[in-house]
């Protein structure tokens, strides 16, 4: 039996096969593909912004202020006569940067804390979880808002405050998964050969809790963009003249009746970016963990 199966088995590894299957499942999911394409498109736009942008996003031209979409100015101009298309294109850099920064803060602090909390349990877990409870008691956006009011406005502080408000989500998620993984026999077996706790966490627990982290990362990026836009809309996020979508939406709302395009196009940009991340996240969840499919 062993001889035959050893010969029949090609040198493929489990992970290869498993990831191939997951990729195939993801590809069959149209919504996820659409979401993924959206994000790919936004990423390309952000990377190539200076090349494809029709002019300077910050150059005012008061003569042509609040012009509607036309052949010359595809998405029209805002109250200072700046090209909305150029501003949206350059804004994608800011939004994606915020999303990456926020998720990095959440991952870097939330994942190790969650691992430690779930793996060690006991008093450590108790303390971490009560702190998490305190953070979760505030709605996420409110917490970010409060932090911004303490830290001040600007790109960096937007990332920090939204990032912090997302940490408890990662802590909860990773803790719950680690609680299950630490009871696995292979963790006990690793202990029984004398593996250090740090190594067990890194090599045995973390890789086995990766799937929900990946899913949460995608969903978290959508959420981060939405939160950042919310802060920008309130004037508490990224400051003008930087072309941030939320801030554009905020300044455009004064002209919503006679120049609706000023608020509409940045709104659509936010909408599709968040939609893209959410669809991809849902698709990833279905593809990576088929058990969760309803």
Partner 1 sequence: MSATGVQAAVSQSQAILALQGLRVHFQTYEGRVTAVDGVDLEVQRGETLGLVGESGCGKSVTALSILRLLPSPPASFEGRILFGDMDLLKLSPEKIRLIRGNAISMIFQEPMTSLNPVMTVGRQIAEAVRLHQGVSAQEGWERAVDMLRLVQIPSPRQRAREYPHRMSGGMRQRAMIAMALSCHPQLLLADEPTTALDVTIQAQIMDLMLRLKEEFQTSIVLITHDLGLIAETAARVAVMYAGQLVEEAGVKDLFRQPLHPYTQGLLGSIPVIGHKFETGRRLLQEIPGVVPSLLDMPPGCPFHPRCSQVMEVCSREAPLLLDKGEGRKVRCWLWR
The residue ranges that bind partner 1 (CB under 8 A) are 1-3, 5-6, 9, 11, 13-15, 121-122, 184-186, 188-196, 199, 203-204, 207-208
CA distance 215 to 218: 5
CB of 287 to partner 1, least distance (A): 17
Alpha helices in 9-83 (DSSP H): 14-28, 30-52
CB-nearer residue toward partner 1: 186 or 292:
186
CB-nearer residue toward partner 1: 117 or 157:
117
CB of 56 to partner 1, least distance (A): 49
Residue 105 token pair: 């803060």
CB-nearer residue toward partner 1: 68 or 186:
186
CB of 50 to partner 1, least distance (A): 42
CB-nearer residue toward partner 1: 196 or 253:
196
Residue 128 token pair: 């971490």
CB of 189 to partner 1, least distance (A): 5
DSSP string for 79-92: TT--BHHHHHHHHH
DSSP string for 253-276: GGGTTT-THHHHHHHHHHHHHHHH
CB-nearer residue toward partner 1: 60 or 121:
121
CB of 3 to partner 1, least distance (A): 6
Length of the chain: 294
Residue 176 token pair: 């719950």
């Amino acid at each position: 039996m062993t001889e035959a199966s050893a010969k029949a088995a090609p040198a493929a590894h489990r992970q290869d096969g498993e990831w191939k299957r997951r990729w195939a499942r993801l590809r069959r999911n149209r919504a996820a593909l659409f979401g993924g394409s959206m994000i790919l498109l936004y990423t390309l736009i952000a990377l190539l912004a200076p090349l494809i942008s029709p002019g300077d996003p910050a150059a005012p031209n008061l003569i042509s202020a609040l012009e509607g979409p036309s052949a010359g100015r595809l998405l029209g101009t805002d109250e200072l006569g700046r090209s909305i298309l150029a501003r949206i294109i350059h804004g994608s850099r800011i939004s994606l940067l915020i999303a990456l920064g926020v998720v990095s803060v959440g991952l870097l602090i939330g994942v190790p804390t969650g691992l430690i909390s779930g793996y060690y349990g006991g008093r450590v877990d108790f303390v971490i979880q009560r702190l998490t409870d305190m953070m979760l008691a505030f709605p996420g956006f409110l917490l970010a808002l409060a932090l911004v009011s303490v830290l001040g406005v600007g790109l960096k502080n937007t990332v920090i405050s939204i990032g912090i408000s997302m940490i408890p989500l990662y802590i909860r998620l990773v803790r719950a998964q680690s609680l299950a993984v630490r009871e696995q026999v292979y963790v006990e077996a690793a202990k029984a050969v004398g593996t250090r706790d740090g190594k067990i966490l890194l090599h045995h627990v973390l890789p086995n809790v990766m799937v929900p982290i990946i899913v949460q990362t995608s969903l978290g990026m959508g959420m981060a963009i939405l939160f950042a836009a919310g802060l920008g809309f309130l004037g508490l996020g990224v400051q003008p003249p930087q072309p941030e979508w939320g801030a554009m939406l905020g300044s455009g709302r004064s002209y919503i009746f006679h120049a609706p395009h000023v608020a509409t196009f940045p709104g659509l940009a936010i909408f599709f970016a968040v939609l893209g991340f959410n669809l991809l996240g849902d698709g990833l969840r279905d593809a990576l963990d088929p058990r969760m499919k309803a």
